[in-house]
Amino acid sequence: MWRDKWVPIVLLILLGLLQYRLWLGKNSILDYVALKKEVHTQSLHNANLNQRNVLLKADINDLKIGLEAIEERARNELGLIKEGETFYRILPAEND
């Protein structure tokens, strides 16, 4: 009686072990889903960085080619004025 049933029992045990490894073991489907989310997040981050790099390259090219960009930066960031110009600072009125 047991001689006829030991093959299906062994096969069921092997199937159970394979299913366990597929769903819960190392490199399982759960790990795959987590890595897929991580790759998507990293792709979005890389896209943002690429966009920032494109803007920085355009800014660098503008600074290399045109003097207007250099002058604008000097005025805005360093507060420089040209010779012969008069600087006026307008302060907002204080409300009591």
- State if pTM tops 0.75: no
d(CA 12, CA 16): 6
Residue 92 main-chain phi, psi, to 5 deg: -70, 150
Give residue 22's identity as a one-letter amino acid code: L
d(CA 20, CA 12): 12
Q: What string of pLDDT tens digits covers the 96 residues of the chain?
A: 566 788 888 888 888 887 777 777 788 888 899 999 999 999 999 999 999 999 999 888 877 887 777 787 777 788 778 788 887 778 888 876
- Give the Cα-Cα-Cα angle 43, 36, 29 (nearest 5 degrees): 175
Contacts of 24 (CB under 8 A, 6+ apart): 30
